[in-house]
Chain A
Amino acid sequence: MDYIIDVKDLRKEFTSHSSRSGLKGAFRDLFTRNYTIKTAVDDISLQIRKGEMVGYIGENGAGKSTTIKMLTGILTPTSGEVRVNGMNPHKDREKFVRSIGVVFGQRSQLWWDIAVQESFRLLKKVYNVPDEFYNTHMADVIKTLAIEPLLDKPVRKLSLGQRMRCELAAALIHNPPLLFLDEPTIGLDVLVKLKIREFLKEINAKYGTTILLTTHDLSDIEALCERVIMLDEGKIIYDGALQQLRENWGEGKQIQFLFTEDVFMNELQELTKEHLVVWEQGTNASTWTASVENDEEIISAVIGKVVAAKRIADLKIVEITTEEIIRNIYEEGAVRNG
């Protein structure tokens, strides 16, 4: 049992009532209510070890936030077993939450009207953090996140990026061994994103903090996480190394040709008929993309054949991006095993 998060067959259903129309409908609602059940998280199982940084991804409405809320003790699961930091988040909630930190990018955890450092002070009291530890640890956090100049401003006067850095600092006041981040980089500019990523890497290295984060920005995952868990309609459709995902799905390469004149599909197919090539036209008849297997010989052969027959103005070989891979997976709704 050395897992810091250990979840088995976790499920969350939301029932929503729909009311019938009219007076007669309202009367009937009194006796039997129409309701629909929405399964937001559908019997998922997962295990996370201490010190891992795991990306939790999926389309809108896939159930990411709902999972995080169950792991942090905010929502009670419909069924299934959850153990986080060796505890059941729903029993002993008050003791449990001392061992985690939570940031919801969409919602502030700080008090709106009071200065950031006052918020920190209240949280310090709430978590009962000793002075010496607070002083050294927070000084470090404040410096790394560069929030010193923001400390005496009320939260409502901060920009989104400034606020998010303060939120992160607030979530770490008690130096929790486990950190949940739900879309921590939403709406932030590149520089702030980079700063936050650097910071997360640093605390992971320094304290071995385990981090589970959701995001729609795959560059966050690429920068931070070796492991991704992909969720679709409440089910886990992939759990493994990001590298593996790329190898299984991103094996192809694309060769982009810009010809000096218009070229026809059948000409190109004729030229490369010995190999498995998928030709796609670009913005006009002189730009074409060939998708081929990631094999040096094939790539060279295809380029050789085409260049020998047609004049080209430009040529580029691109790898399929993680973004595209993920999009393909979402579209197909399942991951090939291989």
Chain B
Amino acid sequence: MSYFSIFFQYAGQYLKTRLTYRADMAVEIFSDLLFQAVNLIFILVVFGHTSLLKGWSKDEMVFIYGFFLVPFAIFGAFFNIWDFTDRYIVKGEMDRILTRPIHSLFQIILERMELESLFGVVTGLAIMFYAGNNLGLSLHWYDPFIFLILVAGGALVYAGIFVTLASIGFWSDSRTDIMPMMYNIGNYGRYPVDIYNRIIRYVLTWILPFAFVGVYPAAYFLGREEWYIYAFITPLIGVIFFAISVFLWNIGVTKYRGAGN
């Protein structure tokens, strides 16, 4: 597969560039970690007093948060497209992308990757092991594989939503605050959805399915059988949303106008 070897070439180049600016990289990893620590403290404080919230224990909530960090880190490493409209449409950088023989979205993933974000995977795993240990969870031999599949599904859900949003830029390059707003909505996925009212729950499941990034797949490992059906359709939802987003992207590319003068 040439896309794989192209990917490794880019990743190699990326690391090379990054290592020449080691200080920057350290700062970035440190601020990432700090950000995650603040979030974790928030959860511990808010849920510290109530040991049970709608039937979820504190450790379960922490576990869900830990799980969420993993697909989110992968999304963050490869889908830095929150400034797509500004960077590629308004400035006309898309011209360059479109004269190269690789799928345009893949090129943008390659150009914009931020591999430091992958540290979130480590944090997430650590949190899950800590909470899982408290909960006395045990692992089957096949659980790591299921984990990989569910994480991939969650990352695809995130990617699908954000690629869809970025595609809007092909039709209208006016400034909107949709991107930051969506980052906020995404955060709802890391709490159990049944603490929200029915409408929000519906939205987080079928419209902006961020629940498939955190609570649903995590429910599988927590042994919450009432949510298993949702846990198991995670990869399906991920593939569907991502496929739709790529479809929209491809239509968007034909609407690209270039930078006007």
Q: Show the binding face of A for B, using Cβ within 8 Å.
A: 14, 16, 61, 66, 69, 72-76, 90, 93-95, 97-98, 100, 102, 104, 107-109, 111, 113-114, 118, 121-122, 125-128
Q: Is B188 located at the chain interface by the 8 A CB criterion?
A: no
Contact B257–A107 (Cβ < 8 Å): no
Q: Which of B91-108 contact A (CB under 8 A)?
A: 92, 94-96, 98-103
Q: Show the binding face of B for A, using Cβ within 8 Å.
A: 2, 5-6, 9-10, 13, 16-17, 92, 94-96, 98-103, 111, 254-258, 260-261
20 contacts between A and B (CB under 8 A): A16-B260, A73-B98, A74-B98, A74-B99, A75-B256, A76-B255, A76-B256, A97-B99, A97-B100, A98-B101, A102-B99, A107-B92, A107-B95, A107-B96, A109-B96, A109-B99, A122-B9, A122-B10, A126-B6, A126-B101
CB distance from A54 to the nearest CB of B (A): 19
Q: How far is the CA of A61 from the CA of B100 in the complex (A)?
A: 26
Chain B contacts for A61, CB-based, 8 A: 261
Q: How far is the CA of A98 from the CA of B101 in the complex (A)?
A: 6
Contact B101–A94 (Cβ < 8 Å): yes
Chain B contacts for A73, CB-based, 8 A: 98-99
Q: How far is the CA of A336 from the CA of B56 in the complex (A)?
A: 85
Chain B contacts for A93, CB-based, 8 A: 98
CB distance from A168 to the nearest CB of B (A): 14
Complex partner residue of A97 from B16, B101, B258, B261, CB under 8 angstroms? B101
Q: How far is the CA of A47 from the CA of B5 in the complex (A)?
A: 38
CB distance from A123 to the nearest CB of B (A): 8
Contact B258–A74 (Cβ < 8 Å): yes
Chain B contacts for A69, CB-based, 8 A: 95, 258
Complex partner residue of B101 from A75, A108, A122, A127, CB under 8 angstroms? A127
CB distance from B207 to the nearest CB of A (A): 23
Q: A100-B99, A113-B17, A122-B10 are in contact. List 16 more A-B contacts (CB 8 A).
A: A14-B260, A69-B258, A72-B98, A73-B98, A74-B95, A75-B257, A94-B101, A97-B101, A107-B92, A107-B95, A109-B96, A114-B17, A118-B16, A122-B13, A126-B6, A126-B102
